[in-house]
Structure 1
Amino acid sequence: MEATISIAIGILFGSGIWLILRPRSFQVLTGLMLMSYAVNLFIFIMGRLWIDKPPLTLTDGVVDPAMYGDPLPQALVLTAIVIGFATTALYLVVMIGSRGLTGTDHVDGEEPDQ
């Protein structure tokens, strides 16, 4: 299971880097989103994969940490998702404004001569 998720994170991050190097602003934005998804998966996996274990303790007394999942990676990923959504919306607004001003969505602002 760990190898499969590691390969998925690597593919997501590699695809994001490849898209960031593309000449169109929408491809750059998509690459940034893929890279943020890969980082979110990485943070989430660092908290280990727990199956059927609650994230919080609701009992009094001595608590066995092996009986509960770690809620910190879940909180970090949830925060990163919200921040990623806000920055993606900002990038889209900037991209649409740039497209309106320059008439192209090329990253340099002009189409290359062919």
Structure 2
Amino acid sequence: MRAMILAALALGSLACARIALAVDNGQFDNVPPDVRAWFKSVIAPNGVPCCDISDGHRTTYDVRDGIYWVPIEGRWMAVPERAIIRDRGNPIGEAVVWYVHHRGDIVISCFVPADAV
């Protein structure tokens, strides 16, 4: 159990480390304060913060056999259950996925479906 917690914290740190790499070129200037606050407050079910508005990507999605799939950089990826957030609402009405590049792969850290309650 301790190893899982440490792994989750490490992944969260890795995901948040991307903030330094995220670029805000003014594309988020007109975001209402409540939406900005929502982005900053979203936390995955395993306790890992999703980070910030510049780290989330609006996305389409598909549900196949009860599993969410999202397109990321030209390929469809299954969203792991540990990343799905259903209880934080969704003030933008579009699905949002947070992901990082790690050791040559893409790791989905958080996903909020368009209809999250």
TM-score (norm 1): 0.27
Q: Which has the higher strand share?
A: 2
- TM-score (ref. length: structure 2): 0.27
